[in-house]
Structure 1
Amino acid sequence: MTSVVGVDFGTLKTVIAVARNRGVDVITNEVSNRATPSLVGFGPKSRYLGEAAKTQEISNLKNTVNCLKRLAGRSFNDPDIQTEQQYVTAPLVDINGQVGAEVNYLGNSEKFTATQLVAMYLSKIKQTTANELKLPVADLCLSVPAWFTDSQRRALLDAAEIAGLKVLRLMNDTTAAALGWGITKLDLPAPEEQPRRVCFIDIGHSNFTCSIVEFKKGELAVKATAWDRNFGGRDFDKALVDHLAKEFKGKYKVDINTHGRAMARTIAAAEKTKKILSANQQAPVNIESLMNDVDASAMVTRQEFEAMVEPLLARIHVPLEQALAQAKLSKEDIDVIEIVGGGSRVPVLKERIQAFFEKPLSYTMNADEAIARGCAFSCAILSPAFRVRDFTVQDIISYPIEFGWEKAPDIPDEDTSLTVFNKGGVLPSTKILTFYRKQPFDLEARYANSEELPGKTNPWIGRFSVKGVKADGKEDFMICKLKARVNIHGVLNVENGYYVEDQEVEEEVKDDDKKEDDKKDADTRKVKKQVRKGDLPIASGTSSLDASAKTALTEKESAMVMEDKLVADTEEKKNELEAYIYDLRAKLDEQYADLSSEDEKSAIRAKLESTEDWLYDEGDDATKGVYVSKMEEIRALAGPVVQRHFEKVDAERRAVQERVEAEQAAKRAAEEEARKAAEAEKAAQGGSDQEMKDADAPQTESEEAGDPK
């Protein structure tokens, strides 16, 4: 049995859902939280992933990396990444053009690419899921923002592969929410009826997406998706942080912008304050030991907070208008407006969206878990291991894609580029491109409108070299057919190539008026048809990692996982040793008090004391084997005493058992005695009955007649 997993990989935290028990459950992590912080930290002995990274974040800011998702597949010199650095506490660096982080790991300065960092985090998600399900985890469905480009999507697919995971589908966030909403509805319109139109608005920690989706029975079709990449919970937090920074500077003469830890504490306080203000009109802010031994406090009202975020609120309508325009619909055409995402809880946000649509909003889905649940449903539909009601998901292409090529010398008027996939086109989608060529040639794929892309993303997607092209003696050109596909992940490939030849073939002329009998005299005509003759090999160059690089990174990740496991096991053995020392010391005065001589006790106590001193001194950083051998030494010394205790307990247990058995035997004997007595009495009773039968009948009658009873 394999597991079916959906993962909502968020900027702030990640939610894991699994399909099981005829439904979808969100699973909890090692500290029983339903969401795991999207963080990777590095220490002198091991990595800290998820919850562990969160625990040590404030004390290890320079070695903790957050916003992992927003770094994946981006180049270091992109202005978006420079913006991202204000949210990421570890220093971001350039690694062969890609963005990465420089951290101190195992006592050395190390650089890891964003793809590696995401892989580390996905390893943790894999482990959390496997621990909960008690099953190996291989296949999953992973959510991504709809605005992710080809290179960002490929980076996530590479990261998953490095972590030993197979992504069945990279699914746009709002599409996942839509699937989760639609698959459980039993009252969707029939295929011939007007579809139900639902607007899904997802406001997460870092971005805001709006999708308009049409539902019919057993299917959904995304009609439009629009977004604001830099609008989310963290931008609301930042407005509060800027306000508090100003207030603390005036009130306490401290500048949190110069002090990383003070800034981190203020961000945590701002996030908490924002949440309190969602339910209350005002919220106190208290930060102990902010910096320079200053305890800072402030009071923020909801009104003040709304004034701070007004510049953000003024942008809400833009994606909503864009989505309606793209879908060619008006506000009145929308039947339901579903809101999801943690950032959607701010009351003024909901008010503005409701005012825009002029109708009440719907909150039937779990804001934090809807996307993970939708991903789990998608994984269940795609997985052969699971049976689920079939539900067709038709998404759309986010950016137009064009192909360019060199002009063939023999075709002077040939175009050299063509937009093959349009924005808003159906996803997944396949197109066949036809070229007339005499020798091998290359084509390049790129995004047609680079200004639509995030930041300064390079519009280049890939280069595809078509091999094996040669002109035949009879023909001037080889007719080459290339199959270009934007796949289920939203990733473009030229999947295969083949060449065809025009051949004349006999074809029956169809005439519907003819009767069946006339079929044998049917007319035929010669037509030219293209017949597939052979394959053309294609060499692809894209932003995906090549196989050897992926293998090397997979091996490195496996080694780090083993290193982390060894450190965790070592820590466990150290804790076991410490607990054993305390436990044995207490038992010497209690259970073992009468079972050991004074010499034995003093020898064991001396050993415990020396081991404890060692443990808190040079033994603080020993290996797993050393802790195990220290434990064995104490066990050997205390063995005879422990053995006596076992024997005493065993003797007591046997005595109790014997007593119970004796009581049970006595009880059985008494029951047997009682049974025999009852049988004897019954036999005696039977004899007297027989005597009464043998007496003569009239006497019996007269006795009965004169019976005084």
Structure 2
Amino acid sequence: MPNGSAGVKVRYLEEDRPFAIEQVTGMLLAKLKEISESALQKPVADCVISIPSFFTDAERRSVLAAAQVAGLHCLRLMNETTAVALAYGIYKQDLPSLEEKPRNVVFIDMGHSAYQVSACAFNKGKLKVLATTFDPYLGGRNFDEVLVDHFCEEFKTKYKIHVRENTRALLRLYQACEKLKKVMSANTADLPLHIECFISDLDVSSTMNRAHFEELCAPLLARVEPPLKAVMEQANLEREDVNSIEIVGGATRIPAVRDQICRFFLKDISTTLNADEAVARGCALQCAILSPAFKVREFSITDLVPFSITLRWKSSSEDGAGECEVFCKNHPAPFSKVITFHKKEPFELEAFYTHLHEVPYPDPRIGSFTIQNVFPQSDGDSSKVKVKVRVNVHGIFSVASASVLEKQSPEGGHGEVPMETELTCGPEGREEEKMQVDQEEGHRRRSEQSPEEELEPTGAQAKSAASDKPERPSPTAKKGRAKSIDLPVLSILCRQLGQDLLNSYIENEGKMTMQDKLEKERNDAKNAVEEYVYDFRDKLGTVYEKLITPEDLNKLSTVLEDTENWLYQEGEDQPKQVYVDKLKELKKHGQPIQVRYLEHEERPKALTELGRKVQLVMKVVEAYRSKDEKYSHLDPAEVDKAEKYVGDVVGWLNGKMNAQNKLSLTQDPVVKAAEISAKAQELDNFCNPLIFKPKPKAEDTEDKTKASEHNGPTDGQGGPDSKPDPAKDGAPHAKAGGEMDVD
């Protein structure tokens, strides 16, 4: 690519186009975003993305840029082994308390392309990564490559073919070798490898067993132990200090790899974690912790800096140059440090990885940072410049801020600023720069982890800045009046995407996403036509056969055949509207047949339902006519209305069905199932209020009787001519003149 990074050239919309790695990764993330939104049925905006722990600053910034291309807001870039550790520790209920000795666990992740090891210390609600080591060039694909090389040589001798000269054949061999490797993990016997029509219709075959495979992979297996040894040394752990060894990643299923790990630790390994999903689960848990929408158990995570970072400063004179390592390897992260310089003019800081041989990247530079607007004090002395450097939550280094302390008279009213104890860093034998390092943890509050604040470079070409010899301060700490003034910092980050270029990537991704959507709609329209042709033609010979005349059958078959031929000729690549119109034209021919079929299927069901409701109403009417006490509360006029309405419905139905029975199945129906269902609903609406109203309850009649007694005498009760009731005074129901008929 023009900026020196790698790209991918593909053929898109009939033209060759190069895509940057950020664009390709953005496409992958956009697809994952689409899958997630489809599964969740809601939009996805925030995410946590896992990366290998050995990623450098440039690679980490590249992933963040890819997330922006995909329309995602990355809350955190998380090292893969740290994500695995979180997935392991957050569910553990038996972790030691903060006052007790932590539980040490080693996590080993060997996936398709890389091998990573980390040692972690767990306390209740706390995870600290002690050390991490890696081999970025060892993974499952290397074991596949060994098998591919072996069979390429064997086929060259056995079949006289050069597999690597045929891309398609080589790809098929890779797939077959990967499958063979997985089968060998569970079998020790000879296993066959057979590929049909490999090259020029030639079938190839061979065999392989686990012992021979491990012999071929001996150089790879020898690379398993060094990272294990290194992580124990860097974490200052002995074998007996390790409580558990957890393995994840597909390549850890290779028995020889497991044997190497067991022999080193002298104990069994644990497989409690899902080897394929542990990293994703850890990222999901971290995302839930950062989200206000989920209530998650408090669990703090302290990660580390994978490579040591050094700052070099320059000035106009040789005496003003120097360097100092600000973050050592395995330093806790996120973390901030404040460095104090004594300068009279603007100066430049250059950040780079200290040990190039440790970095799996050809360029050790991180970036350059120019501290501007530095001025001497009013008395001509050097100004005290405080520079805050930070490794943020993403593991990215930056010069976060800079400020100068301007001396003020005591009357100035400014707060007192104590002089710091200074650390001498510089080449031996020169007038040395004075710098003081104040350390502070950088992740106490989430507000301090703002990616906008930490990731946006100011992005202008830095100029060479001069530096004067600093005056040596008094070794005794003194107090003086000073005012802090913020200074602008110009940052130039190595391989940093410019904002204009990033915006163009985002715009292009939006255009391609829209193009994909339009293409999907076009293909869906084309597939709808093809599906209609095949489905309808199949039904013409089965369920539709009795519903169409021979003449219409021949005509429609011809239309379907012509449409099929058109689809595979000039209709192969047509706009969406052409397919929509073609489907509409086909439905004009097929719709009447489909309607007749549906009516033929649904009409008997509707007739049965209407007949059931008619019988139900007539049953009530007949019961009422026969003086059934159950229906004695019905109004005679309303019963007559219901009976008349049922008679009208039966008459309408008989008329329609008589006409329908005179038609053949190939003719359009006189009455449709929907009309019959509507008539049944009308019957319910009219008759239910008339004849299906509930009978009054006995309690209601008794309540009315009580109310009459309370309001005044009625016939046979009370009154001047009535005789005293023999019942006790206060009886709830005094009966006079015989039993009361509450019905």
The TM-score normalised by the length of structure 1 is 0.75
- 1:363 equivalent to 2:267? Answer no
SS at match of 2:329: coil
Matching residue of 2:561: 609
Shift of 1:502: 4.2
- 1:123 equivalent to 2:74? Answer no
- 1:501 aligned to which of 373, 392, 406: 406
Q: 2-side partners of 1:647 and 1:590: how far apart?
A: 17
Q: Describe how 1:5-404 pairs up with structure 2 within 5 A.
A: 94-282=1-189, 283-404=191-312
- 1:584 equivalent to 2:572? Answer no
Q: 1-side partners of 2:54 and 2:227: how far apart?
A: 12
Shift of 1:498: 2.3
SS at match of 1:231: coil
Q: 2-side partners of 1:176 and 1:424: how far apart?
A: 17
Q: Is the 8 A contact 2:417 2:479 kept in 1?
A: no
- 1:433 aligned to which of 328, 339, 359: 339
Shift of 1:390: 1.3
- 1:660 aligned to which of 608, 612, 617: 612
Which string of whole-angstrom CA distances, capped at 9 and with x for unpartnered residues, describes residues 62-100 of structure 1? xxxxxxxxxxxxxxxxxxxxxxxxxxxxxxxx4431111
SS at match of 1:496: strand
Q: 1-side partners of 2:386 and 2:109: how far apart?
A: 41
Shift of 1:220: 0.7
Q: 1-side partners of 2:290 and 2:48: how far apart?
A: 9
Q: Describe how 1:530-609 pairs up with structure 2 within 5 A.
A: 531-542=482-493, 543-588=495-540, 600-609=552-561
Shift of 1:392: 0.7
Distance 1:508 1:131, change over 3 A: closer
Shift of 1:450: 1.4
SS at match of 2:6: strand
Q: Is the 8 A contact 2:417 2:481 kept in 1?
A: no
Q: 1-side partners of 2:549 and 2:78: how far apart?
A: 70
Of 565-574 and 358-367, more deviation after overlay is shown by 565-574
SS at match of 2:375: coil
Number of residues paired by the alignment? 568
Q: 2-side partners of 1:532 and 1:398: how far apart?
A: 37
- 1:476 equivalent to 2:381? Answer yes
Distance 1:606 1:364, change over 3 A: same
SS at match of 1:189: coil
Which string of whole-angstrom CA distances, capped at 9 and with x for unpartnered residues, describes residues 162-191 of structure 1? 111111111111111111000000110111
Q: Is the 8 A contact 1:403 1:417 kept in 2?
A: yes
SS at match of 1:663: helix
Distance 1:638 1:290, change over 3 A: closer
SS at match of 1:315: coil
Matching residue of 2:352: 446
What amino acid sits opposite 2:123 in the alignment?
A: K
What amino acid sits opposite 1:422 in the alignment?
A: C
SS at match of 2:263: helix
Shift of 1:555: 0.7
- 1:632 aligned to which of 584, 589, 592: 584
SS at match of 2:523: helix
Identify, as 1 or 2, the structure richer in strand.
1
Which string of whole-angstrom CA distances, capped at 9 and with x for unpartnered residues, describes residues 480-535 of structure 1? 222211111111111222222345579899xxxxxxxxxxxxxxxx9625755332
Distance 1:147 1:642, change over 3 A: same
Distance 1:651 1:530, change over 3 A: farther
Which string of whole-angstrom CA distances, capped at 9 and with x for unpartnered residues, describes residues 647-702 of structure 1? 6666545423311211332455577689935799xxxxxxxxxxxxxxxxxxxxxx
Q: Is the 8 A contact 1:336 1:361 kept in 2?
A: yes
Q: 2-side partners of 1:269 and 1:590: how far apart?
A: 44
Q: Is the 8 A contact 1:447 1:461 kept in 2?
A: yes
Shift of 1:440: 2.9
Distance 1:438 1:106, change over 3 A: same
Of 457-466 and 578-587, more deviation after overlay is shown by 578-587
SS at match of 1:619: coil
Shift of 1:617: 1.0
Of 117-126 and 592-601, more deviation after overlay is shown by 592-601
Distance 1:538 1:508, change over 3 A: closer
Q: 2-side partners of 1:588 and 1:200: how far apart?
A: 63
Matching residue of 1:88: none
Distance 1:428 1:651, change over 3 A: same
Q: Is the 8 A contact 1:484 1:495 kept in 2?
A: yes
What amino acid sits opposite 2:334 in the alignment?
A: P
SS at match of 1:562: helix
Q: 1-side partners of 2:480 and 2:145: how far apart?
A: 64
What amino acid sits opposite 1:540 in the alignment?
A: S
Shift of 1:619: 0.5
Of 658-667 and 379-388, more deviation after overlay is shown by 658-667
Q: 2-side partners of 1:417 and 1:317: how far apart?
A: 35
Q: 2-side partners of 1:593 and 1:294: how far apart?
A: 48
Q: Is the 8 A contact 1:395 1:426 kept in 2?
A: yes
Matching residue of 2:392: 487
Which string of whole-angstrom CA distances, capped at 9 and with x for unpartnered residues, describes residues 119-148 of structure 1? 111111111111111111111111111111
Q: 1-side partners of 2:218 and 2:341: how far apart?
A: 54
Matching residue of 1:461: 366
Q: Is the 8 A contact 1:211 1:224 kept in 2?
A: yes
Q: Is the 8 A contact 1:139 1:167 kept in 2?
A: yes
Distance 1:277 1:109, change over 3 A: same
SS at match of 2:172: helix
What amino acid sits opposite 1:561 in the alignment?
A: T
Q: Is the 8 A contact 1:441 1:465 kept in 2?
A: yes
What amino acid sits opposite 1:331 in the alignment?
A: R
Structure with the bigger RCO (C-alpha within 8 Å, sep 6+) is 1
Q: 2-side partners of 1:575 and 1:276: how far apart?
A: 39
Distance 1:644 1:302, change over 3 A: closer
Q: Is the 8 A contact 1:405 1:416 kept in 2?
A: yes
Distance 1:637 1:278, change over 3 A: same
Q: Is the 8 A contact 2:46 2:72 kept in 1?
A: yes
The TM-score normalised by the length of structure 2 is 0.72
SS at match of 2:170: helix
Q: 1-side partners of 2:292 and 2:407: how far apart?
A: 41
Q: 2-side partners of 1:674 and 1:482: how far apart?
A: 105
Shift of 1:603: 4.3
Shift of 1:418: 1.6
Q: 2-side partners of 1:666 and 1:288: how far apart?
A: 75
What amino acid sits opposite 2:325 in the alignment?
A: T
Q: Is the 8 A contact 1:407 1:416 kept in 2?
A: no
Distance 1:530 1:248, change over 3 A: farther
Q: 1-side partners of 2:322 and 2:195: how far apart?
A: 62
Q: Is the 8 A contact 1:446 1:459 kept in 2?
A: yes
Distance 1:332 1:646, change over 3 A: closer
Of 263-272 and 592-601, more deviation after overlay is shown by 592-601
Q: 1-side partners of 2:613 and 2:530: how far apart?
A: 42
Of 666-675 and 445-454, more deviation after overlay is shown by 666-675
Instruction: State the structure with more CA Rg.
Output: 2
- 1:419 equivalent to 2:325? Answer yes
Distance 1:297 1:495, change over 3 A: same
Q: Percent identity?
A: 40
Distance 1:209 1:532, change over 3 A: farther
What amino acid sits opposite 2:192 in the alignment?
A: P
